[in-house]
Amino acid sequence: MNRKKIMLIKQPFIVMGALSLVILFFLTACSGQNQNFTDQRITSLNKSLMCPVCPGESIDQSQNDLAAQMRNVVYEKVYEGKSDQDIKDYFISKYGPVVLMEPPKKGIGLLAWVFPIILSVCMGFVIVFALIFLKKSSNKLKQNQNQDLTEKERDILNILKQDNISEEDIFEILKSSKDN
Amino acid sequence: MVVAIGQISLIIAFIVTFYSSLAGFFSGKIKNNNLFDSGKLAFYSVIPLLLISTASLIYSFVVNDFSVKYVAENSNLAMPSAYSWVAFYSGNSGSLLYIAMAFSIMGAISLKVIASKPFDSSKYFLGIISLTLLFFLFVIVFLANPLEKLDFVPSDGQGINPLLIHFGMFIHPPFQMLGLISVAIPFAIGVSVLLAGEGGKDEWVDLGRRWGMISWLILTVGLLLGSWWAYTILGWGGYWAWDPVENSALMPWLAMSAFIHSIMVQKRRGMFRMWNILLIIIAFTMAQLGMFINRGGPVPSVHSFAESTMGWIFLAIMGVTLFASLVIFIVKFETLKSNETLESFFSREAAFLAQNLLFLLIAFVTLWGTVFPIFSETFDETTMTVGQPFFNKVNGPLILLLVFLMGIGPFLPWRKASWKTTVRMLRIPISIALISLPFLIFLLEIQKIWALASFVILISATAGIFQEWVRGTISRHKKGEKWFLAFYNLINANRPRYGGYIVHLSVVMLGVGIAASSFYSVQNDFVMQPGDTRTIEDYSFTYIEKEETIYSDRKEQIAKFSVKHKNNDLGYLYPERSYYPVFRISATKGAINTSLIEDFYLVPSEFMEDEEAVFRVLINPMIVWMWLAGPVLIFGTIFALIPARSRKTKVPLSDVLENKVLES
Amino acid sequence: MIIFISIMLCMFPIVLIVYPLIRNKKNVDVYVGNDFYLQQRWDSLIEGLQNAELEFSIGTIDKDDYEWLQKTYTKEVIELIKELKITNSEEEKIIQKINKTINQIRNEKEKI
């Protein structure tokens, strides 16, 4: 008897443990791919630079002439052997940090990235506190450890459970009970 | 003369709406039904007036009356005639007129329905929707009049933005704009209930849920149509750019998504009363903020209407509305206290709370990203761009978490979930998800972590939904119904629940399309001459020839391609590129071959002086599932909205049961 | 011509606005009684019962929860019926009053 109890209590933990192992096994089977094809690099660089005269479009997606010129510059520099950061710095020096499609992770740009994290953490706390706040003692629940239904109440319950509560059904039951 | 009549109608409409606002609030305060009837009729009478104004504007477009300033700015003689019917909402002031007209109709329908029920709040409801309409009419009449005349008549207009000459123009803007303003209706229901002191009675929840869902549906359709339009017209193979205007439509949608769930908690358990009012206030504020971003131009966007000097009035009305709503809330919040308690952290109520806050978190992060450029400019004097990469990285995981909640939420019972029950409900979906892992990793070669996580979560959500359908059908079958009938009755007897599951399935379809195309799109640029053939993945395509036509407003170049996939001939594709010298815009139209597995997307980037041209090819996996999700979602929502047959307690029934009761 | 149309356009809402204010309908609160709210409660109680039924058959809730829910809902329905009975008897009284008044008016008319 004791062993059964222990098994039951441990069951959730066993399940969780097994689950985590399985997931870990499969995740290690995933290789984090790093396809460093030059083309991929160029495309991703293009997607991370903004066309300065188009509102909010990357030079990859914009049809503008300036965007086409910038794409050529990126192409040349990649084949010259410059690194991603060099190329980005080059454009920043010409147009300012606005040319990057996402804020740089330093200076005030860092705030852009950090704020969502702070917000998320705060939201997590809000959820926890809200739940604690809402969960007052459930005395009300204990009061309603109610008595069982009487037979008549059971009959009513059965009537209510039907899909169509027809008045004929109810009359039938009443008639039969009145005859008793 | 037509224009003059349109103008007069506008002014009359403004005055009448002013009256109906007053009538609504006063009749609510003094509880006078005659004044209320008068106010209602006033509101209804605005509809024909606005229809007349709209008709006069459309007429001006159709006959090319360039003496009207707005027509001269937004159309020209070369514009295809079909578009003169819709060009009227392509610009700022015309779109305001559209919104006023559409809202007057939708508001009147909601008013008719709501006033037919004996709520004291319907009078205040009239007041609030009248004020909403009044604001728009005020802006139209005094600040941005689409029927304003020019002193001289130009011989031709400037023309409509060429990107808008696309079928999508007929459907996306009307739905999107109506969706944004339709949030005013559940908002008005909530606030009017507060004003009338009926916050404690939950009977209005049905109305709030219904109109919340209707508003949500229109917003969703608008967003989906916009994505589809962007994908098919804009030539960059994408459908969502986290552009400020897109974000401003997304934020109220997120808040409304939260609302339609939390209103269910109030219906079932009488909880979250205060939260629901706050939430609908947030949703409407976001909708107004969205209008400001669209028209105020604080952040540059591809979508912005050209003139944007009067946008600040939208910010002002947003502030006023928010302030007034919060004041009303604080004054009346005692009526909202509920007796129900949260019994367990591990319950559906708690899951809904987490989900709501997650929706809002995504909305606020989106807001932050959208306004950060202004922030950095004000405080650091450097402009920064917050584009797609930022939003994808930050919102992506949050959205995935939300979908995960969607998968497990429905299986948590109300009030309290025991570990045993939860395991019993979740073990099949989770097992299926785990079993699918080796297939995903080794068979489909999905090895990027986030992609894998996305698909696993989507699979478990789907498995969960089908598990309930199967179990429900089985249990009905055991009671004697035949299989098909059992399933049909199961769905039909619980329309809100199963309609909701259908919508969740459509979300899964959306998720599949988004995940597959986000992680596994392939893109390449090719320099080709006529006669050249290139290959990408399993496709081979041949550039046959180019046809060039010069129109009065543009130069159009259409290329002809023959495409083969694994030796299957897919026929001809005709990607095109047009250059509009007046606007200095090049518009491309991609040629797409769609299949359930992937889209072959071909678009001309550049036609050079010699015969050479640059073409971009994208292979977008499973994109079509996003568009297929649309009808499923619409069906699910409408299905969930069909009212249940009310079980009338006529006198005989209550007498009959009462006899039994008194006997006992 | 424009003036004529403008006047028509003005008259149209004015008529609609003024009519309810000048007609002789008394501002009586239409007697709805509690019936509407009770009907809503009835609907939602039945829905609650149905949902409990469904969720138990699927396995989302335990047997004890299921039975607790059934007891609670049934007792609430019975309370509701008692309230309905009160409302209905009130309605009966009002209908009787109205009938009496109508009869009175009829009698007076016949006298004239």
pLDDT tens digits, residue range A20-74? 676 666 565 554 444 446 777 888 888 888 888 877 788 887 777 788 888 888 8
Four-point Cα dihedral B333, B337, B341, B346, nearest 10: -30
Partner residue facing C49 (CB), from A146, A153, A160? A160
Give the residue on C whose Cα is nearest the Cα of B646.
Answer: C43
Structurally, chain A folds into a number of domains equal to 2
Domain range list for chain C: 2-111
**DSSP for residue B68:** B
The closest alpha carbon to B343, from C63, C55, A139, belongs to A139
Chain C partners (3+ C-beta pairs within 8 A): A, B
pLDDT in tens, C7-40: 988 999 999 999 888 876 665 555 455 566 777 7
Instruction: Tell me which residue has tokens 């300036």.
Output: A66
Chain B partners (3+ C-beta pairs within 8 A): A, C
Which residues in chain A have Cβ-Cβ distances shorter than 8 Å to C75?
Answer: 146, 153
Which residues in chain A have Cβ-Cβ distances shorter than 8 Å to B660?
Answer: 152, 155-156, 174, 177
Parallel/antiparallel/unpaired status of strands B585-589 and B576-580: antiparallel
Which residues in chain A have Cβ-Cβ distances shorter than 8 Å to C69?
Answer: none
pLDDT for the residue A31: 43
| Residue B252 contacts residue B218 (beta carbons within 8 Å) | no
Partner residue facing B421 (CB), from C18, C32, C62? C62
pLDDT for the residue B309: 66
Q: Which of residues 81-110 of A touch C (CB under 8 A)?
A: none
Q: Which of residues 69-88 of C touch B (CB under 8 A)?
A: 78, 81-82, 84-85, 88
What residues in chain B have per-residue pLDDT under 70? 200, 203, 297-309, 645-664
| Rounded average pLDDT over A79-96 | 86
**Domain edge (last residue) among A99, A122, A141:** A99
Q: How far apart are CA C80 and CA C73, in angstroms?
A: 10
Partner residue facing C13 (CB), from B1, B16, B413? B16
When pLDDT is cut at 50, 70 and 90, the band that residue A117 belongs to is very high
Q: What is the CATH number of the domain that holds A46?
A: 1.10.8.640
8 Å CB contact of A149 and C78: no
Chain A partners (3+ C-beta pairs within 8 A): B, C
Give the residue on C whose Cα is nearest the Cα of A147.
Answer: C71
pLDDT for the residue C69: 81
In this predicted structure, the answer to whether residue A170 has a pLDDT above a threshold of 90 is no
The closest alpha carbon to B390, from A97, A128, A105, C67, belongs to A105
8 Å CB contact of B203 and C18: no
Examine residue B540 and state whether it is found in any structural domain, yes or no.
Answer: yes
The closest alpha carbon to B344, from B258, B274, B400, B271, belongs to B271
Say if residue A76 is in the same domain as residue A125.
no
pLDDT for the residue A84: 84
- Taking one residue from B and the other from C, the number of pairs with CB-CB distance under 8 angstroms is 129
- Percentage, residues of chain A above pLDDT 70: 59
Parallel/antiparallel/unpaired status of strands B576-580 and B613-621: unpaired
| Residue B632 contacts residue B502 (beta carbons within 8 Å) | yes
Q: What is the CATH number of the domain that holds B29?
A: 1.20.120
H/E segment holding residue B559: strand B555-565
Q: In what order do the strands lie in the sheet with B522-528?
A: B522-528, B613-621, B598-607, B591-594
Structurally, chain B folds into a number of domains equal to 2
8 Å CB contact of A103 and B384: yes
- Measured in angstroms, the CA of B141 and the nearest CA of chain C are apart by 16
Cβ atoms within 10 Å, residue B50 = 27
Q: Alpha carbon B152 to chain centroid distance?
A: 41
Structural domain boundaries, residue B148: 1-165
Q: How far apart are CA B517 and CA A87, in angstroms?
A: 28
The set of long-range contacts for B475-481, using a CB threshold of 8 Å and a minimum separation of 24, is B475/C57, B475/C58, B476/C57
CA distances from B441 to A26, B404, B429, B437, B512 (A): 8, 20, 18, 6, 16
| Rounded average pLDDT over A135-160 | 63
Which of B2, B501, B654 is the mutation pick for testing C, counting most C CBs within 10 A? B654
Examine residue A149 and state whether it is found in any structural domain, yes or no.
Answer: no
Amino acid sitting at position B89: Y
8 Å CB contact of A153 and C70: no
Which of B302, B347, B384 is the mutation pick for testing A, counting most A CBs within 10 A? B384
Which residues does residue B560 pair with via DSSP β-bridges, in sequence order? Answer: B545
H/E segment holding residue B573: strand B568-573
Which residues in chain C have Cβ-Cβ distances shorter than 8 Å to A148?
Answer: 71
Give the residue on A whose Cα is nearest the Cα of B239.
Answer: A61
Examine residue B206 and state whether it is found in any structural domain, yes or no.
Answer: no
Residues 6+ apart with CB under 8 A from B361: A119, A120, A123, B398
Q: How far apart are CA B265 and CA B171, in angstroms?
A: 34
- Measured in angstroms, the CA of C13 and the nearest CA of chain A are apart by 46
Structural domain boundaries, residue A58: 38-99
Q: In chain C, what are the helix, strand and coil shares in percent, each to the nearest 5? A: 85, 0, 15
**DSSP for residue A100:** B
pLDDT for the residue B660: 46
What is the DSSP track for B470-501?
A: HHHHHHHHHTT--HHHHHHHHHHHTHHHHHHH
pLDDT for the residue A106: 80
Phi, psi of B367 (to 5 degrees): -60, -45
Least confident of A135-144, B463-472, C44-53: A135-144
Which of C51, C53, C70, C74 is the mutation pick for testing A, counting most A CBs within 10 A? C74
- Measured in angstroms, the CA of A130 and the nearest CA of chain C are apart by 25
Give the residue on C whose Cα is nearest the Cα of A163.
Answer: C50
Examine residue A84 and state whether it is found in any structural domain, yes or no.
Answer: yes
What is the DSSP track for chain A?
A: -HHHHHHHHHHHHHHHHHHHHHHHHHHHHS-------HHHHHHHHHHHBB-TTSTT-BTTT---HHHHHHHHHHHHHHHHT--HHHHHHHHHHHH-GGGBSS--SSTHHHHHHHHHHHHHHHHHHHHHHHHHHH---THHHHHT-PPPPPHHHHHHHHHHHSSS--HHHHHHHHHHHHH-
| Residue B57 contacts residue B80 (beta carbons within 8 Å) | no
- Taking one residue from A and the other from B, the number of pairs with CB-CB distance under 8 angstroms is 182
Which residues in chain A have Cβ-Cβ distances shorter than 8 Å to C77?
Answer: 156, 160
Partner residue facing C43 (CB), from B9, B413, B646? B646
Say if residue A43 is in the same domain as residue A73.
yes
8 Å CB contact of A63 and B663: no
Which residues in chain B have Cβ-Cβ distances shorter than 8 Å to A166?
Answer: none
| Residue A94 contacts residue B341 (beta carbons within 8 Å) | no
Instruction: Measure CA of the first residue to CA of the last residue in chain A; give whole Å.
Output: 50
- Measured in angstroms, the CA of C49 and the nearest CA of chain B are apart by 11
- Measured in angstroms, the CA of A69 and the nearest CA of chain B are apart by 12
Which residues in chain B have Cβ-Cβ distances shorter than 8 Å to C1?
Answer: 1
8 Å CB contact of C74 and A156: yes
Which residues in chain A have Cβ-Cβ distances shorter than 8 Å to B437?
Answer: 22-23, 26
pLDDT in tens, B116-159: 877 788 999 999 999 999 999 999 999 889 998 888 888 888 87
H/E segment holding residue B563: strand B555-565
CA triple A101-A103-A105, angle to 5 deg: 135
**Domain edge (last residue) among B165, B196, B213:** B165
| Residue A112 contacts residue B384 (beta carbons within 8 Å) | yes
Handedness of CA B562, B563, B569, B572 (dihedral sign): negative
8 Å CB contact of A156 and C70: no
In this predicted structure, the answer to whether residue C86 has a pLDDT above a threshold of 80 is no
Four-point Cα dihedral A16, A17, A22, A23, nearest 10: 60
ipTM value: 0.79
Phi, psi of B534 (to 5 degrees): -130, 165
Give the residue on B whose Cα is nearest the Cα of C54.
Answer: B472
Q: How far apart are CA B317 and CA B467, in angstroms?
A: 48
Please give the structure tokens belonging to residue B481.
Answer: 């119904």
A146 touches C at CB < 8 Å: yes
8 Å CB contact of A30 and B430: no
Partner residue facing C60 (CB), from B49, B411, B644? B411
Burial class (CB in 10 A: 0-12, 13-18, 19+), B322: middle
Q: How far apart are CA B311 and CA A161, in angstroms?
A: 57
